Amino acid sequence: MELNLECIAFYNLENLFDTIVDTDTNKILQEDFTPFGKKNFNANKYFHKLKNLAFVLDTIGKEVTPLGPSIIGVCEVENRLVLEDLVSQTSIADKNYKIVHYEGSDARGIDCALLYDPLHFKVTSSKSVKFTIPDNERFRSRDQLVVSGELLGDKIHFIVVHWPSRRGGEAKSRPKRIEAAKLTKSIVDSLKQIDKNAKVIVMGDFNDDPISPSVADFLKAKRSIVLKNNQMYNTMYDHYKNGIGTLAYRDQWNLFDQFILTPSLIDLDKNYDGFSFYKSVVFNKSFLKNQKGNFKGYPFRTFVGSTFLGGYSDHFPVYMFLVKKAL
């Protein structure tokens, strides 16, 4: 049986800011990322980071498909300009990635976005869904990006999220992520109301693990591929149980970066008449890791505090494959 294979990736780009201050916004971090700011962030450092990130995106998934990712969800991007600069980097410019991005309301000034190969994916609609918390109007976090389209003829919906952080501690901040999960679940449910067999991929940095209440209980993302209709499949659960993570803090690995799917993307009969889930991977190659010191094995970051290390991100990227029978 000849099969079509599509690679889907997600990467938290860790504070991908340009070096310019936007005078019409109140982004908390943007002045740090200037030549005169705390990080002394100049054009050389900016383009060094872009080159590094593009190299990663060009490398992902090529052990299975030489084309690399057709779809890339990203978070922690300042604006559309940094995405245009990213997709213009030499290593990935020939992919001609297109961009779906909306300027959001996050206090740090960072957004989610979707990059896609127009030869494989045709966007039919997109929107940014504002995230708010009842009785806390001052709290501003990332909006949730919804992109619908056709992947080689199959209608698929992508939801790119970056749920609120654990700032202040996991327990204290947990209600914020539960509210984010409720919003994500409502988006999924609305898509399934239109089409009960809707193929939906939720991907992003959830700032929670697969076993966390926000993911397991409120989004109803489960380990089993045998699902009830209101449940979803968490493709990253087994990685987490095997001790694999995407970021580390105080010698503890977390797996915050996940792909979560509606049941229609699970082909229990292995017919592959339409795109279905094949496998997921944490991309943790050695070049993405610190090679020595107290943080050996941790993700190799661009900055630690105000010190420029010249790395990539504080998260490892993740990717997954969809497979279907070739025509």
Q: 10 Å Cβ neighbour count for 118?
A: 12
Q: In whole numbers, what is the pLDDT of the chain averaged over residues?
A: 94
Q: Which residues contact 233 (CB under 8 A, 6 or more apart)?
A: 221, 222, 224, 225, 227, 260, 261, 262, 263, 265, 266, 277
Q: What is the pLDDT at residue 182?
A: 97
Q: What is the pLDDT at residue 115?
A: 98
Domain map (residue ranges) of the chain = 3-325
For residue 9, pLDDT beyond 80: yes
Assigned architecture for domain 3-325: 4-Layer Sandwich (3.60)
Site of tokens 């001609």: 96
Instruction: Report yes or no: 41 and 309 within 8 Å, Cβ to Cβ.
Output: no
Q: What is the pLDDT at residue 273?
A: 86
Which has the minimum average pLDDT: 95-99, 252-256, 264-268? Answer: 264-268
Dihedral angle, C-alpha 313, 12, 295, 289, nearest 10 °: -60
Question: Which pTM does this prediction carry?
Answer: 0.96
For residue 29, pLDDT beyond 80: no
